[in-house]
Amino acid sequence: MTKTFEDDINDLLKFVEYFPDFPKPGILYKDVLSVLNDRNGMQLLEKILKQISLQLMGKIDCVAMLETRGYIIGPIIALQLSVPCIPVSKKGNLPGTLIEQSYTLEYGEDILTIQLNSIKKGQRILLVDDFLATGDSQ
Ligand SMILES: O=P(O)(O)OC[C@H]1O[C@H](OP(=O)(O)OP(=O)(O)O)[C@H](O)[C@@H]1O
Ligand SMILES: Nc1ncnc2[nH]cnc12
């Protein structure tokens, strides 16, 4: 029987490993990178990202990928859409003139930066990350 998109998502979720009390007591860490530790997991991730990209074709000018784990997913989507990919990086990791934004996440706080000349006014930007907890960094 052909798998639906929802079936594929549920199958992919089975590859995610759970780590209680990481990186702090009380946090249940969902290690989405475990998906990459299995050839079937990687193939399923690629299949799902290709399906999502089909829906976005012609609607996006640029993919902005969030450090660190968004760096894995962003380029796969950008290649499908034939658009450029730009980094949104933790403070200290990008050269040039930057825009900074501090944020809180489920287990701490950080500062994200982008290079001022990496985006242009009016661009339709798809923000890509691996995981949403509080969503504050988005
Ligand atoms: O919804 P939130 O509360 O913002 O949490 C989600 C964010 O937390 C993780 O990033 P982290 O800063 O731990 O970076 P990593 O990808 O380098 O592990 C994750 O990759 C998201 O960016
Ligand atoms: N519980 C969690 N598991 C994995 N990544 C996260 N980022 C923020 N909260 C997280």
Supply the pLDDT for residue 12: 98
Supply the pLDDT for residue 35: 97
This prediction's pTM = 0.91
Which fold does the domain 5-128 belong to in CATH?
Rossmann fold (3.40.50)
CA of 39 to the centre of ligand 2 (A): 23
| Regions in the chain scoring below 70 on pLDDT | 136-138
Tell me the best of 27, 66, 69, 137 to mutate to test the pocket of ligand 2, counting ligand atoms within 8 Å of each CB and taking the most.
Answer: 27
DSSP labels, 22-81: -SSTT-EEEEGGGGGGSHHHHHHHHHHHHHHHHHHTTT-SEEEEETTTHHHHHHHHHHHH
Tell me the best of 104, 107, 138 to mutate to test the pocket of ligand 2, counting ligand atoms within 8 Å of each CB and taking the most.
Answer: 107
- Give 138's contacts (C-beta < 8 A, 6+ positions apart): 66, 127, 129, 132
Structure tokens that stand for 119 in this block: 């985006």
Q: How far apart are CA 98 and CA 91, in angstroms?
A: 9
Taken in order 89, 67, 107, 10, is the CA torsion positive or negative? positive
The answer to whether residues 112 and 90 touch, using CB atoms and an 8 Å cutoff, is: yes
Supply the pLDDT for residue 1: 82
H or E segment and range at residue 125? strand 125-128
DSSP state at residue 127: E
Supply the pLDDT for residue 108: 86
Supply the pLDDT for residue 138: 57
DSSP state at residue 122: T
Q: What pLDDT digit, counting tens, does each position of 77-98 carry?
A: 999 999 999 999 999 999 999 9
Does the Cβ of 88 fall within 6 Å of ligand 1? no
